[in-house]
Amino acid sequence: MPPVFASLRPRCLLPLLRALSSAFAIWMLASHGVQASALTSEQLEAVVIDAIQPVVERHQVPGMALALTINGEPFFFNLGETALEGGEPVTEHTLFEIGSVSKTFTATLAAYAEAKGALDFSRPVSAYLPALRGSAMDSVSVLNLATHTAGHFPLQVPAEVDNEDALLEYFRNWDPGYTPGSKRTYANPGSGLLGVVAARSLNQPFDKAMQESVFRGLGLSHTFLKVPDDQMRSYAEGHNSRHQPVRVNIGLLGEEAYGVRSTAADLTRYLAAQMELVKVAPDINQALQATRRGFFRTDYYVQDMVWEQYSLPLKKDTLLAGNSRKMIREDHPVTAIAPALRPQRNVLINKTGSTGGFSTYVAFIPEKQFGFVLLANKYFPGDERVAMLYKILEAVLPEVTVATGAVQSDSAS
């Protein structure tokens, strides 16, 4: 029987990490007294410490929430505090900025609109935004937005585009730079526009559609686009490279592309819903599964709707290359998959995310009922997050990894 993800209790307290002068606590799900992992709790504790402690000390990370789902059961590891000064201990209910992992929720909203019959991914963007008719958006499909294959957008909305009218004019005059569907370019404007189209198709503001249809539909009680006043105490402060407190500035299309705040507990439930370990309404389940259809092949992975899907067994250098700065910053040729792949189970699916003061990484393997959630209130490079996951996989699920030599990478997220 799938575990009930709401019932948590403390089990033990780990030793202090001197670099942070803070306690590191492990929490486990109470599930009829059955041990979830083949590893003992002490062994799992040692694996996690070995994976995260070098990163925590090297980057002076104030706080981190790490969650593992092993054989369908969640384990929560909470480290440090919500702020360098005046913070509180991090828990699995601490709110973190999740950066571009937000895009997976935006894709879910679009797929939910499809499930409701309001949106057709094969139709052009201009079919849903009449003001863009006669522009390049006549040739860009909604699916192109969901798979980063619309054309060459910049990574961010240009600084001079500072209001809604200017944004509309920007998209009206935008030149794709290449034929939609021929290359992949990771960019916030395209993902942001996907959110606009999805919300427009549902005749709702984006924040209302996301909160009511997706967050509530998934049973996520501590996931927000706008953090309520009564939840601000749980909202961690981010920290920049100078260890100064920072929080994200939500610009145009920011809510759609990088604006979600969530917790380790909620993201663990989100991954559990992806793996069908918890029951959600049929239309939301249909949307989740739709986001994991495979549409394009890159050199390293299959591009789903925002999600990136890796074949198993998994090579570390492949995972590093797929999450590298080069994949984020440059255009990359893709090959269309026709018909699209149905949702796969024996694969690793991942997404990184960052803001100026936060780092996020989520990954899951449906066949193994394995999930990984990393939230930190300090930015550190993506390759170190990938290495952290891989090290844990080598200990917990060695059969899904391939031994490789040392790899150099300049990953980021």
Confidence (pLDDT) at 37: 52
**Could you tell me the two tokens for 109?**
């909203």
When divided into structural domains, the chain yields a total of 1
Strand partners, 256: none
The pLDDT of residue 13 is above 60: no
Mean model confidence pLDDT for the chain: 90
Nearest partner of 155 among 180, 129, 183, 192, judged by Cα: 192
> Given CA atoms 157, 159, 164, 166 in this order, what sign does their dihedral have?
negative
Examine residue 395 and state whether it is found in any structural domain, yes or no. Answer: yes
Q: Catalytic pick from 112, 128, 186, 235?
A: 186
Domain CATH number, residue 245: 3.40.710.10
The pLDDT of residue 411 is above 80: no
Percent with pLDDT over 70 in the chain: 88
Examine residue 125 and state whether it is found in any structural domain, yes or no. Answer: no
Model confidence over 92-136: pLDDT tens digits? 999 999 999 999 999 999 999 999 999 999 999 999 999 999 999
Confidence (pLDDT) at 165: 96
Examine residue 379 and state whether it is found in any structural domain, yes or no. Answer: yes
301 is catalytic: no
Examine residue 122 and state whether it is found in any structural domain, yes or no. Answer: no
Examine residue 58 and state whether it is found in any structural domain, yes or no. Answer: yes
Length reported for the chain? 413
Q: How confident is the model at residue 377 (pLDDT cuts 50, 70, 90)?
A: very high
Q: How confident is the model at residue 41 (pLDDT cuts 50, 70, 90)?
A: confident
Model confidence over 166-205: pLDDT tens digits? 999 999 999 999 999 999 999 999 999 999 999 999 999 9
Domain that includes residue 352, residue range: 8-104+206-402
* Amino acid in position 60: Q
The pLDDT of residue 29 is above 80: no
Percent with pLDDT over 90 in the chain: 86
Examine residue 24 and state whether it is found in any structural domain, yes or no. Answer: yes
**Could you tell me the two tokens for 333?**
């040729």
Q: How confident is the model at residue 310 (pLDDT cuts 50, 70, 90)?
A: very high
Examine residue 192 and state whether it is found in any structural domain, yes or no. Answer: no
**Could you tell me the two tokens for 38?**
């083949």
41 is catalytic: no
